[in-house]
Amino acid sequence: MTRFYVASTALALVLATPLSAQTADEQSGFAYSPTGDEVRASQFIGARVYAAAPEEAAMSADGSAVDGVGNGAEEADDMAAGDTAPADPRDDYADVGEIGDVLMSQDGQIEAILVDVGGFLGIGEKQVAISMDKLEFVPDTAAAQDWMVVFTSDRETLENAPAYEPPADPAAMDGADAGAAVAPTGSVSETVGDAGSDAADWAEEKTAQGEQALDAAGDKASDMAQSAQQDMQSAAEGVGEAADRAGDALAGAATSAGAAVEDAGEDMQQAGTDAGSADYVTADIGDVTTEQLTGARVYDLNDKRIGEVHEVAMTADGQPGKAIVDVGGFLGIGEKRVELGFDQMNIEKLNGGDELRIQVNATEEQLKEMPEYEG
């Protein structure tokens, strides 16, 4: 069976390029030409890891065939095994884990591969750090781009390997710590031995363990849900009481604020009345512009300021048609917008200036009773 190793070639081209590399030619770092044998990190991380099934482990330490199997010629292997090649190459291997991550040094070199081993549905599994030379890329089909990752030793070795424990402060690791983290779990020349137990027995045992873990997790989840429900009920009652208190406080604050706004409005209206006593002369609508009219203060019959012109609605022939007036309120709060014709108002212009003031033939209360402008 054809196999190819990837330690510092295909995967290294993807993962191990130093980030700080620089040459005299700034463009040299972009001149890589793909060969078609590269492996992307996104494909590598998450890939399943396999170990040779018991019947595939019959080879000597130097890689030569034992009992006519594993001599390097696929057709001869098939004849010696008395069978044809399996439809799926994975039939020759046992699924033992999944690549969870890749550890790299700061100079871009691969230090270790983290493999998630054992467990059932993610329960009871552990993570093992192994060196890249313990993995082989084995063709999955006749196509070169299809491959599978195979652990060069048996499943029992991988399952008995110490679990990877990340350091509390990775930056503080010295060379000895880093070397220990990536120590190989066995020699590269170690032969693929007996799997240790029948795959079906192993699967049945792990399934039973998983069912027990799921039962325990279900009981714990039920207790936690009941406790959470009680906590939520208590919290809801507390929130309701707090909301009642907050509502009372807001109501009191709104009453006080309303009184203050009303007082301030009256003060401002009086100031507007005082300002209205300046020297103004009557102006014709044709003598003023819409820019001058927009924002002009509006006064009632008692010369009390009651609002201002929000905008001027133009007629079809481009002449001022109606004035849209904001009446009452304070700082835009509580005011009402009504529509008035210029025949309902007297336009006055500051003597010697451009400032306008408008007096309407109505009181503030009468204007507030008018229909609100919907423009």
DSSP per position, 8-74: SSHHHHHH---TT---SSTTGGG-----S----HHHHTT-EEEEE-GGG--B-TTS-BBTTB-SS-H
Band (128; pLDDT cuts 50, 70, 90): very high
Which pLDDT belongs to residue 69? Answer: 38
pLDDT of 21 over the 60 cut: no
Which pLDDT belongs to residue 253? Answer: 78
pLDDT of 307 over the 70 cut: yes
**In 3D, which of 213, 197, 194, 204 has the Cα closest to residue 124?**
213
pLDDT of 135 over the 70 cut: yes
Task: Provide, rounded to the nearest whole percent, the portion of the chain with pLDDT above 70.
Answer: 66
**Mean pLDDT across the chain:** 74
Q: What is the pLDDT of residues 39-53, one digit of tens each?
A: 888 888 988 988 876
- Tell me the pairing of strands 126-130 and 320-327: unpaired
Which pLDDT belongs to residue 37? Answer: 75
Q: What is the pTM of this model?
A: 0.35
Residue carrying the six token digits 């006519």: 68
Which pLDDT belongs to residue 29? Answer: 67
Which pLDDT belongs to residue 156? Answer: 86
